[in-house]
Chain A
Amino acid sequence: MAQDGAVPNPTREHRIILRYADLPGYTPDIDCYLQHGGYQQLRKALAMDPAAIVAEVKASGLRGRGGAGFPTGTKWGFIDHAKNRKPVYLLCNADESEPGTFKDRQILYKDPHQLIEGMIISSFANHAHLAYIYIRGEMARGARILERALAEARAKNFLGANILGSGYDLDIFVFRGAGAYICGEETGLIESLEGKRAYPRIKPPYFPAALGLYLCPTIVNNVETLCNVKHIVEMGGAAYAKIGTPNNTGTRIWCVSGDVCRPGYFEYDGGAITMGELLYDVCGGIRNGNRLKALIPGGSSAKVLRAGEVYRIRRKNAAGAMEEVEMRLEDLPLDFDTIAASGSMSGSGGIIVMDHTRDMVECLDNLSAFYAHESCGQCTPCREGALWMRKVLDRMTGGQGRPEDPQLLLDLAGQIAGRTICAFGEACSWPVESFVAKFREEFESKAVAKEEQGRLQATH
Chain B
Amino acid sequence: MVAPEQPLLPGEEVLGPEFERKAEEIIGQYPASRRSASLPLLHLWQEEFGFLSERAVEWISTKLGLKPIHILELVTFYPMLHVRPSGRINFKVCRTLSCALAGSHELFAQIRARCGATVAAGHGIYVSPDGSYSVEFVECLAACGSAPAMMVDEEEFERATIDTVERILAESREKEAAQGA
Chain A contacts to B: CB under 8 angstroms: 1-2, 4-5, 87, 96-102, 104-105, 130, 136-141, 144, 173, 175-181, 192-198, 213-214, 255-259, 263-265, 300, 350, 352, 354, 358, 363, 366-367, 369-370, 373-374, 376, 455-460
Contact = CB atoms under 8 A, between A and B. Distances in A.
A370 B96 contact: yes
A370 B146 contact: no
Contacts of A265: 145
Interface in B132-147: 137-147
Interface in B85-108: 92, 95-98, 100-101, 105-106, 108
Nearest to A194: B36
Interface centre among B77, B81, B138 (most CB of A within 10 A): B77
A99 B140 contact: yes
A179 B78 contact: yes
B179 interface: no
B140 A370 contact: yes
B152 to A, nearest CB: 11
Contacts of B106: 458-459
Contacts of A178: 39, 42-43, 74, 78-81
Nearest to A182: B77
B144 A138 contact: no
Contacts of A141: 154-156
Given A97-B140, A265-B145, A455-B105, 10 more contacts: A138-B138, A177-B78, A194-B33, A195-B64, A214-B33, A258-B98, A263-B146, A358-B101, A373-B79, A457-B105
Contacts of B62: none
A214 B33 CA distance: 8
B84 interface: no
B80 A102 contact: no
B73 interface: yes
B145 A179 contact: no
B143 A102 contact: yes
Contacts of A96: 142
B37 A99 contact: no
A141 B158 CA distance: 14
Given A87-B32, A179-B79, A374-B139, A366 B156 contact: no
A137 B80 contact: yes
A4 B32 contact: no
B29 A257 contact: no
A193 B151 contact: no
A136 B142 contact: yes
B180 interface: no
A369 B145 contact: no
A119 to B, nearest CB: 15
A2 B77 contact: no
Given A370-B140, A456-B105, A197 B159 contact: no
B109 interface: yes
B40 interface: yes
Contacts of B144: 99-102, 255, 257-258, 263, 350, 352
B86 to A, nearest CB: 14
Contacts of A369: 95
B39 A176 contact: yes
B145 A1 contact: no
Contacts of A4: 143, 145-146, 158
B142 to A, nearest CB: 5
A417 B144 CA distance: 27
A370 B104 CA distance: 14
B70 interface: yes
A263 B145 contact: yes
Contact of A130 (B31, B137, B142, B156): B31
B106 to A, nearest CB: 7
14 contacts: A97-B139, A97-B140, A102-B143, A130-B32, A175-B39, A178-B78, A179-B80, A192-B39, A197-B77, A255-B144, A256-B145, A264-B145, A369-B95, A460-B124
Contact of B105 (A99, A130, A370, A459): A459
Interface in B101-120: 101, 105-106, 108-109, 112
Contacts of A175: 36, 39-40
Contacts of B97: 99-100, 258, 300, 352, 363, 366-367, 370
Given A100-B97, A137-B80, A258-B98, A459 B139 contact: no
Contacts of A198: 77
B3 to A, nearest CB: 15
Nearest to B32: A214
Nearest to B158: A2
Contacts of A367: 96-97
A458 B100 CA distance: 11
Contacts of B32: 87, 130, 213-214
B128 interface: no
Nearest to A137: B80
A175 B108 CA distance: 30
Contacts of A264: 145
A399 to B, nearest CB: 17
B35 interface: yes
B181 to A, nearest CB: 29
> Considering the complex of A and B, which 4 residue pairs feature the smallest CB-CB distances, nearest first?
A178-B78, A257-B144, A195-B35, A179-B80
A181 B139 contact: yes
B142 A373 contact: no
B38 interface: yes
Contact of A138 (B42, B81, B151, B158): B151
